[in-house]
């Protein structure tokens, strides 16, 4: 069983960068809220690189954007499995590997 610690973050990405993540991620869960006009995606972060043939989950991130024309995606949560010895830095490293380039983040709070 996973025990996810998480941090609210503010990581702006272009829609192109977000699509790059979705194309390389192992698992993605999406949700559309027609009432608010928003979409949310949650992506599993793996300890292995994006081109690996297996995935050891070390965390997840969720991102949100507005429909239909928003070209800016915001990663708003980053989580890591603290009970299995995963550190927040491991989750950031896995996220950067998915993005394929350095990212700028503003952490808001840990839980």
Per-residue pLDDT tens digits for 29-61: 889 988 888 899 999 999 998 888 999 999 999
Contact 104, 9 (CB under 8 A): no
Q: How far apart are CA 39 and CA 100, in angstroms?
A: 23
In this structure, are residues 43 and 60 in contact, taking their beta carbons and an 8 Å threshold?
yes
Q: pTM for this structure?
A: 0.85
- Split at pLDDT 50, 70, 90, the class of 77 is very high
What is the predicted pLDDT for the residue at 104?
A: 77
Domain spans of the chain, in order of start = 13-60+84-100
Tell me what pLDDT residue 51 has. 83
For residue 97, pLDDT beyond 60: yes
Q: Which residues pair with 23 in a beta bridge?
A: none
């Amino acid at each position: 069983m996973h025990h996810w610690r998480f941090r609210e973050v503010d990581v702006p990405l272009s829609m192109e960068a977000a699509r790059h993540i979705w194309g390389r991620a192992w698992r993605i869960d999406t949700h559309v809220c027609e009432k608010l006009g928003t979409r949310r995606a949650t992506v599993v972060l793996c300890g292995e690189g994006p081109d690996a043939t297996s995935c050891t989950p070390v965390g997840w991130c969720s991102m949100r954007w507005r429909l239909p024309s928003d070209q800016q995606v915001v990663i708003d949560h980053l989580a890591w499995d603290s009970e299995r010895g995963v550190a927040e830095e491991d989750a950031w490293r896995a996220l950067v590997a998915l993005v394929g380039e350095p990212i700028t983040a503003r952490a808001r709070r840990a839980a």
